[in-house]
Amino acid sequence: MKILSGPTFISILYLIYLITIPRVSSSSPSLTVPHHFLQCLDTQPADHGSPNSATAVIPTNSSFSANLMSAVRNLRFASASNRKPEAIVAAVTETHIRATISCCKLLNLELRVRSGGHDYEGFSYTSPVPFVILDMYNFHKIDINMADETVWVQAGASLGELYYNIASKSKVHAFPAGVCPKVGAGGHFSGGGFGNLMRKYGLSIDHIVDAQIMDANGKVYRDRRSMGEDVFWALRGGGGGSYGVILAWKIKLVRVPEKVTVFKLERTVREGAVDLVHKWQQVAPVIDRDLFIRLEIKPINRKISKGKTIKVSFIGMFLGTPERLLNITKNKFPELHLTSSDCLVKKWIDSVVFWANYPEKAPIEILLKRISANEYYWKRTSDFVQTPISKQGLKTIFQTMIDHSPLPRRVWMQWNPWGGRMGEIPSDATAFVHRGGNLFMIEHFMNWYRPGDKLEEKFLAIARSFKEAMAPYVSKNPREAFFNYRDVDIGITTPGYNATYEGAKVYGEKYFKGNYLRLVKTKARFDRTNFFRSQQGIPVLA
C-alpha cells in the first residue's frame, strides 16, 4: 500500500477535520468560518504554483469591503443589516470555481455567483444564510469570429465590453441586449436580455447559440450537446443562479446599418402627453420593426404655475436614415411631430453611448468602465400590458403618480414596446415566456439618495402602493413579472429553500408561466441536490 505523506496526507487529514466540525448554521457572522474556508480552498486541487486561496478575500482583509462594494449596484443591500459573505472568491481559472463549489459544500455555505452585480434584489451579493460570493469579474474574455459572425463571451464580461469589442471589428454588426453597459453577461443573458433592438431581433437569448457551464460537482459542460438541450433551454430565460456557474456564452451577431438614427422628444400633459401616450400604445408595438420608441413617464414640478405635472420622454432608436424614419412617423404617428432637427445620426456604437445617458461627446471607451461611484438606493419592478389603457385610465395613472411623488423623489416608469420579432417567437422556444400578446413592458422606478431604515420603509411603501394602483391596467392571473427585474414582493421561498413545486409557484408562474414545470424538471435532473439555490430559485421537486 502506498503511504501518503507531505501535502496530500495533510490535505486528507484536513478534509476529515472539515467534515467533522459543526457545519455553519448560525445567523450571526462567524469569526472562524472564513479561515476554514481559505484553508479548505488550499486542500482542493490547484493550478500549478498558485494556491486557490490567493484568489479569495475574507472580512478581516483590508480589501474586503472594496471587493464587496465593487459591484453593489443598489445601496439598499450594502447596509449593516444585510449579511456579509464569509469570503469573496475572484476566480481566475475554472480550478478556482471548482474549489469554491467544493468548499461551500463541505462547509455548508451557500454560493452566490456574481457577474455584473445588477440583480435588483442583490441576490448575487447577499443571502439570508452564511454564504460565499463567487465573483466572475475576471472571466471577461471576448473572442470574436467575424468569419461566422459569432462570439464566445465569458460570463463576467459587461455589455459595454461586448459592444466595444464588436465595434472594434465591424461597423455593421451589433448584439441585441440591454442599454446599461455595466450589466454583466452572466445574469443578463440568463434572464432574457432585452434592449432597443428587440423589435427587430428579439432578445439576447434568441441569438445565443451555445454555452458552457460548471455543475455542482465541478464538471464542466463545454457545449449545449453535453449539457443537454433542456439545460440549454433553461439557461435562456430561466435565470442565473439555479443550475450551475455559467462560464461563457456563444452568441451570433446581428446586422445593423452603418448609421442609425436616435431621438429624444419631451411632452408635458399640457403639450398633449395623454393623447400621445394613448396613440403610442396603438402604434409602437406594430410600427416598422426598425423603430423602437421607449417612453419615460415622470412627475415634475410645473415650470410656470405652481403644482406638479407629468412629462413624457419619447426616446427612439431607428435602424435607418432620418428620411425613412420621418416618412414612417408622418404616416403612422403624425401627432408626435418628429422633425429632422430632433434626429441624431450615429454609428451604432455611438448610439449605445447615447442610450446609456453618457454625455453626447463621451468617447466609446467609457463603455469599458465597470465601476460606478454614483450608486444609490432603489426599488424597481415590472409589469406587462396586454390591453391598451384608455385616455381616462392614463389620466388616472398620471394623477396617481403625482400623488405618490414627494418631489424631488418620485415614482416613474419606462414603457418598452413589444411586437415585431418578439411576437413571432413561441413562448416556449426558450424559458422566457412573455412573447406574443404583450403590447409593452413597464419598469417601475423609485430612487432615493440617502441611507436610513425609515427612509427605506417610506419609499418602499410608496413604490408598493403605486404598483398596487396599477393592477387594473396590467396582466392578470398571473400578474406577470420579468425575471431580470427580480422582485421579492411577488413571493419567495421560506428559509431552508426546500421549496416544493407548489410552494415556488408563487413566483415561478409569474416569471415563467407555462414554462415553469419544464424548468423544475430540468433542475431535478441537472442540480438534483439543489446546490444552486436562493429565495427565488427553481425547486427540484416536481
Work out whether strand 377-385 and strand 208-214 pair parallel, antiparallel, or are unpaired.
unpaired
Q: Shortest Cβ distance from residue 87 to ligand FAD (Å)?
A: 16
d(CA 110, CA 89): 13
Secondary structure (3-state) at 445:
strand
Q: Shortest Cβ distance from residue 488 to ligand FAD (Å)?
A: 12
Bridge partners of 296, per DSSP, are 313, 414
# of chain residues touching ligand FAD (CB under 6 A): 33
Q: Is 155 in the site for ligand FAD (CB under 6 A)?
A: yes
- Nearest to 349, CA basis, from 250, 254, 253, 260: 260
Q: Smaller CB distance to ligand FAD: residue 178 or 285?
A: 178
- Nearest to 422, CA basis, from 409, 437, 412, 407: 437
Q: Is 151 in the site for ligand FAD (CB under 6 A)?
A: no
Q: Is 123 in the site for ligand FAD (CB under 6 A)?
A: yes
Side chain identity, residue 269: V
Q: Smaller CB distance to ligand FAD: residue 113 or 254?
A: 113
Q: Shortest Cβ distance from residue 305 to ligand FAD (Å)?
A: 34
Q: Is 199 in the site for ligand FAD (CB under 6 A)?
A: no
d(CA 517, CA 542): 7
Q: Smaller CB distance to ligand FAD: residue 338 or 413?
A: 413
Q: Smaller CB distance to ligand FAD: residue 73 or 96?
A: 73
Among 85, 176, 181, 193, binds ligand FAD (CB under 6 A): 193
- Nearest to 250, CA basis, from 232, 276, 229, 269: 232
Half-sphere exposure of 356 (CA within 13 A, CB side): 28
Half-sphere exposure of 456 (CA within 13 A, CB side): 13
Q: Is 180 in the site for ligand FAD (CB under 6 A)?
A: yes
Q: Is 240 in the site for ligand FAD (CB under 6 A)?
A: yes
Among 102, 165, 427, 484, binds ligand FAD (CB under 6 A): 484
Q: Smaller CB distance to ligand FAD: residue 160 or 240?
A: 240
Q: Shortest Cβ distance from residue 200 to ligand FAD (Å)?
A: 15
Q: Which element (helix H / strand E) includes 277?
A: helix 273-283
Q: Is 195 in the site for ligand FAD (CB under 6 A)?
A: yes
Rg (the chain; Cα; Å): 24
Among 112, 207, 236, 279, binds ligand FAD (CB under 6 A): 112
Q: Is 73 in the site for ligand FAD (CB under 6 A)?
A: yes
Taking a C-beta distance cutoff of 8 angstroms, is the pair 389, 471 a contact?
no
d(CA 263, CA 270): 21
Q: Which element (helix H / strand E) includes 516?
A: helix 516-526
Q: Is 353 in the site for ligand FAD (CB under 6 A)?
A: no
Q: Is 188 in the site for ligand FAD (CB under 6 A)?
A: yes
**Of 108-116, 286-294, 403-411, 503-511, which segment contacts ligand FAD by CB under 6 A?**
108-116
How many helices (H) and strands (E) the chain has is answered by 16, 18
Q: Is 238 in the site for ligand FAD (CB under 6 A)?
A: no
Q: Residue 402 phi/psi, 5° resolution?
A: -60, -45
Q: Cα 287 to chain center, whole Å?
A: 27
C-alpha cell at 236: 435562456
**Of 114-122, 272-280, 345-353, 389-397, which segment contacts ligand FAD by CB under 6 A?**
114-122
Q: Shortest Cβ distance from residue 193 to ligand FAD (Å)?
A: 5
Among 24, 88, 142, 179, binds ligand FAD (CB under 6 A): 179
- Site residues, ligand FAD (CB under 6 A): 73, 112-120, 123-124, 136, 155, 178-180, 183-184, 186-188, 190-195, 240-241, 245-246, 484
